[in-house]
Structure 1
């Protein structure tokens, strides 16, 4: 079984903002998320990030800003003994008609290709919105909703969540996963 967990970024790993997270200073990790990611890596899981970043296409921040945010995220995780296998993002505006913007599974396809995987049945997609879960489910990932970020709002609609596992935050899911599957 492939041990892969795919994470949305904003609202799952770090605090989200309706005004976009625009630079490394605004990129603030959710308490416990960084250490939890490191524990998951140390338990033998590959961890990937699949994130919509339309703020890039909208001109709210630059490629250098996005690179700096991801460098900060990677540095914090690596300082705790973890590692991301890959980080994929969609830079397009919602109306761009691309294949990579979640809920479409293009980012998942990029991850599958880069990591040379074929069976994602044992994999998890963790997000705070329905579109995150739909992207993963389209490729056979198990859906996990966290209540951080937009998660509580998503849960309140209760639409499309029939198969989703629900946790308060990423660290709670990782605790459960490591206890359940080791």
Structure 2
């Protein structure tokens, strides 16, 4: 790309912060390497930022909305305010339209940020993030972690080794 997209949507766990399964404790929030620099650069360039995150711990009865909100507030303490937070609280078996890989979270975030999906990039660490972007008409960058499956890496249209690489890929 010759210019940044209008918006970049980040997956939360495993992308912006280290993945602690079903985390409801803000003290366990640790930034992924390069998260602060990446978010700062995008904002400095006028790119709108948001978060799209499956939070099935709510639907599973392991977390409350308040737990998730407390963790999200800690993320914003560390990274600054995001233009939108779109969360899916549903259990994976609920069949909702918002849970990634469905496009609902991405489409809702684009609407909240007043951007076209075609001018939006989703950055995430698993295939569901890439698939949600594709289903919504957005672009994606996969930043693999140890939990990313080899098939997800092979099928992703764009893969970066880290968030700094993702930033380079979307320019």
1:104 corresponding residue in structure 2: 102
Query: Where does 1:114-129 land on structure 2 (aligned, <5 Å)?
Result: 114-117=112-115, 119-129=116-126
Question: Are residues 42 and 159 of structure 1, via their aligned partners in 2, closer, same or farther at CA, if it must alter by over 3 Å?
Answer: closer
* Contact map agreement 1:130 1:160 (CA 8 A) in 2: no
1:5 corresponding residue in structure 2: 8
SS of 1:95's equivalent in the other structure is helix
Partners of 1:105 and 1:120 in 2: CA distance: 10
Partners of 1:91 and 1:114 in 2: CA distance: 18
Q: CA deviation at 1:61?
A: 1.8
Deviations along 1:79-138, one digit per CA (max 9) or x if unpaired, are xxxx41101100010011211101111111211222233x32232111111111111111
Question: Are residues 114 and 96 of structure 1, via their aligned partners in 2, closer, same or farther at CA, if it must alter by over 3 Å?
Answer: same
Equivalent residue in structure 2 for 1:66, among 68, 75, 80 = 68
Runs of 4+ with deviation above 6 angstroms: none
Question: Are residues 113 and 50 of structure 1, via their aligned partners in 2, closer, same or farther at CA, if it must alter by over 3 Å?
Answer: same
Q: CA deviation at 1:2?
A: 5.2
Matched positions, count: 168
Contiguous gaps of at least 5 residues in structure 2: none
* Contact map agreement 1:128 1:149 (CA 8 A) in 2: no
2:159 corresponding residue in structure 1: 166
Partners of 2:97 and 2:15 in 1: CA distance: 22
Q: Cα RMSD over matched residues?
A: 2.0
Q: Which has a greater percent of helix?
A: 2
Question: Are residues 31 and 160 of structure 1, via their aligned partners in 2, closer, same or farther at CA, if it must alter by over 3 Å?
Answer: closer
Question: Are residues 23 and 149 of structure 1, via their aligned partners in 2, closer, same or farther at CA, if it must alter by over 3 Å?
Answer: farther
SS of 2:40's equivalent in the other structure is helix
